[in-house]
Structure 1
Amino acid sequence: MSNSLLPQNIASLKAYSSAKSEKLTGSTWLNANESPFNKAVELSLDELNRYPKPQPEAVIDAYSNYAQLAPTQVLMTRGADEGIELLMRTFCEPAKDSIAIFTPTYGMYKVSADTQNIAINELSQAQLQRDQISELSERIGSAKLVFICNPNNPTGSLTPVDKVASLAKALENSALIVVDEAYIEFAPEQSAVSLLQDFNNVVVLRTLSKAFALAGLRTGFLLANDAVLNPVRKVIAPYPVSTAVAKIAEQALTPDAVTQMRRQVSILNSNKSKLEAWLSKSPLVTQLLSGEGNFITLQLSDKTLISNAMKAGTIMRPFTLFGEDNWLRISIGSEQELEQVKLWLEQSE
């Protein structure tokens, strides 16, 4: 194929490197912020010859109940990743508009923008946490979409809801504030969903991949008011949700299933506290980012410790953060899985 067919932004695109994109072998998987809890589902599929409902009412109703919103404020997507892409396709003009992100943060905001030839105004997490609203607004400039991952991956930091509200107010006529709440079940009191009562320029991204233990289902939700969702509905694929996915998602959102999810979150938060205590005592850990989410990010005294863990079958996620390549993110797994982390540290001392 001739290279002349390829647009320049795609030719120079650096693809997102997911935790599963590398061919790794191991026995303990703590690299992708997955839940250690496997979910049993029941499926009876006798209508696969028919197209699915574009937005399955049973799932939309169940999620709107869970999020305490009206069904019209909920759009089901293929993971939160599709929500990110849809917002850019709907609201940003290629080669003209820009988005704002606060790094280090989730890598797909950048990849989606680069794919669609949308400029990126890269600010820092420190600026998001520290700067006054007037300073932040000025730095954000003309960006159409402002992505706030909350809790932030990979640092776990939280932006207070009142700060998100103040930013939404300041940018009311110029930008959408997109709050990515992939990890919000681990800090539910910090959700920005309540802001939809007062702001048409606030959008919340949600997923069933983390706390709901359904990463393999690829199900997410866009939560927003009509001003945002009506144009997005024009852009989304005609049948984005398969019949099988809709049936499983519906089961995952029953009151009993939500209660079970909350119980599992409580177990994971408890496991996280124990892991944090071990890590804080280890002489091999030079810095610990204590935040929210089902992961802990830390800096090691020596990055070869990571390859030693990999060789032993304990797979965690290496990171280059703040210009240094000896960072590691550990997903919170079962007690037995975290014992492997403890064992690795103790044997490395």
Structure 2
Amino acid sequence: MSNENNTTQATETAQFPSNVLPKNIDKLTAYSSAKSEKLTGTTWLNANESPYTRAYELSRTEFNRYPDPQPESVINAYSAYVGLSAKQVVMTRGADEGIELLVRTFCTPSQDSIALFAPTYGMYKVTADTHNVAINALSQEVLQQSDVSDIVAQIGDSKLVFICNPNNPTGAMVSTQKIAAIATQLQDKAIVVVDEAYIEFCPEQSAVSLINDFNNLVVLRTLSKAFALAGLRTGFTLASEALLAPFRKVLAPYPVASVVADIAAQALSTSNIVSMRRQVGILNALKQRLSQWLQQSAAVNKVLSGEGNFVTLQLHDKSAITRAYERGLVMRPFTLYGQDNWLRISIGSEQELSEVKAWLDSLTNDNQ
């Protein structure tokens, strides 16, 4: 059989019966994570990962028994960390599972919608599309600049309202006062979901303090960023006990692996939390230094101010990104506000950020 026939046969085999695949899945555009892009490099600043590592030891070596669905040691440690009761905390496989479970629990497919404020984290849209839930796409400008009554009017009858705070990729923040006002006006109408993946970099702005006042407020958290455990895939959904009751119904039977619970419990020890906060202080200082370099660079058109362990900027010429790849420097390009010359740089170590400075200097020198 010829190579051409082999190719044709492979193509026909790869096709899936259209009458079996739901239309919303057939049309779905999957989320493109930083690690899904097959890139090569030596300095990785594209996924908002921490540059810090820590050694952990497993306390058990036998895995023939199923794990505790909600490991008590982790739940108690995290509830103490955030100042809530254990009944207000659910451990998930990253904050992403929390997003998925909220949509699956509270939204009726082909009937309900979620509201989001673009540009923002892409998994809100992908999750809604996956579950055939409509999307009410509002803008960050509406969230940041409009008064609460106008925001609520534009939210309309959306069942879930996702607020990424700090926002990825812009770093913008919404005050807890504004979140409280939105939750107040949406009482008995919608659930406000505050995604605080990056909140350890500005902990004084957390909405966790509002949970005991609102039964329609959810806060999502993760150990992936400041706790430097992106590879562990550990997140937490925080809310009132009443709100979490139906949420718990749709949890997988054993969502947390024993080894994950073991490491998470160690990460939440008092000494490790102190260490995490010290590292956050260092990264925030490095971020300030990077922002100054970017603002002084002739190759940069605009630098967005905001919180989180990243800086988002607009380049004068997006070919500068190719130059970075050629140097082994991997950062995250974006299309924002209809323009494709945006770049997000994760805050790495001092040595890693020196590579960014060298790249910026090379761009400036070439233009002289």
> What TM-score do you get using the length of structure 2 for normalisation?
0.94
Q: Which of 114, 119, 131 matches 2:134?
A: 119
Give secondary structure in 1 for the equivalent of 2:132: coil
The code of the aligned residue for 1:304 comes to: S
Give secondary structure in 1 for the equivalent of 2:161: strand
Q: Which residue of 2 aligns with 1:6?
A: 21
The code of the aligned residue for 1:107 comes to: G
Distance 2:311 2:61 in 1: 43
Aligned CA RMSD, in angstroms, stands at 0.6
Query: 1:311 and 2:326 equivalent?
Result: yes
The code of the aligned residue for 1:230 comes to: A
Query: 1:339 and 2:342 equivalent?
Result: no
Q: Which residue of 2 aligns with 1:95?
A: 110
Q: Which residue of 1 aligns with 2:342?
A: 327
Q: Which contiguous aligned blocks of 4+ residues in structure 1 show a shift greater than 6 angstroms?
A: none
1:60-96, Cα deviation, whole Å (9 max, x unpaired): 0000000000000000000000000000000000000
Distance 2:98 2:136 in 1: 20
- Give the deviation of 1:47 after TM superposition: 3.2
Q: Which of 188, 195, 213 matches 2:210?
A: 195
Q: Which residue of 2 aligns with 1:146?
A: 161
Q: Which residue of 1 aligns with 2:4?
A: none
- Give the deviation of 1:44 after TM superposition: 3.1
Distance 2:116 2:71 in 1: 32
Q: State the number of aligned residues.
A: 349
Q: Which of 234, 242, 245 matches 1:230?
A: 245
Q: Which residue of 2 aligns with 1:22?
A: 37
- Give the deviation of 1:46 after TM superposition: 2.8
The code of the aligned residue for 1:216 comes to: G
Q: Which residue of 2 aligns with 1:175?
A: 190
Distance 1:298 1:193 in 2: 30
Distance 2:152 2:242 in 1: 22
- Give the deviation of 1:43 after TM superposition: 1.1
Q: Which of 232, 255, 258 matches 1:217?
A: 232
The code of the aligned residue for 1:329 comes to: R
Distance 2:161 2:62 in 1: 40
Give secondary structure in 2 for the equivalent of 1:62: helix
Q: Contact (CA 8 Å) 1:314, 1:341: kept in 2 or not?
A: yes
The code of the aligned residue for 1:144 comes to: K
1:238-284, Cα deviation, whole Å (9 max, x unpaired): 10000000000000000000000000000000100110111110011
- Give the deviation of 1:45 after TM superposition: 2.5
- Give the deviation of 1:42 after TM superposition: 0.7
Q: Which residue of 2 aligns with 1:257?
A: 272
Q: Contact (CA 8 Å) 1:39, 1:214: kept in 2 or not?
A: no
Give secondary structure in 1 for the equivalent of 2:95: helix
The code of the aligned residue for 2:233 comes to: R
Query: 1:134 and 2:149 equivalent?
Result: yes
Distance 2:62 2:100 in 1: 29
- Give the deviation of 1:142 after TM superposition: 0.3
Q: Which of 300, 304, 313 matches 1:289?
A: 304
Distance 1:289 1:132 in 2: 22
Distance 2:324 2:242 in 1: 49
The code of the aligned residue for 2:49 comes to: E
Q: Which of the pair has more CA radius of gyration?
A: 2
Distance 2:133 2:326 in 1: 40
The code of the aligned residue for 1:158 comes to: M
Identity of aligned residues (%): 65
Within 5 Å, give how 1:24-43 maps onto structure 2.
Answer: 24-43=39-58
Q: Which of 155, 170, 178 matches 1:155?
A: 170
Q: Contact (CA 8 Å) 1:30, 1:314: kept in 2 or not?
A: yes
Distance 1:47 1:265 in 2: 35
- Give the deviation of 1:227 after TM superposition: 1.9
Q: Which of 273, 290, 301 matches 1:275?
A: 290
Q: Which of 29, 50, 73 matches 2:65?
A: 50
**Bigger mean CA deviation after superposition, 203-212 or 44-53:** 44-53
Q: Which residue of 2 aligns with 1:266?
A: 281
- Give the deviation of 1:228 after TM superposition: 1.3
Question: Structure 2: any 5+ residue segments left out of the alignment?
Answer: 1-15
- Give the deviation of 1:3 after TM superposition: 1.9
The code of the aligned residue for 1:174 comes to: K
Give secondary structure in 1 for the equivalent of 2:19: helix
- Give the deviation of 1:197 after TM superposition: 1.5
- Give the deviation of 1:340 after TM superposition: 0.3
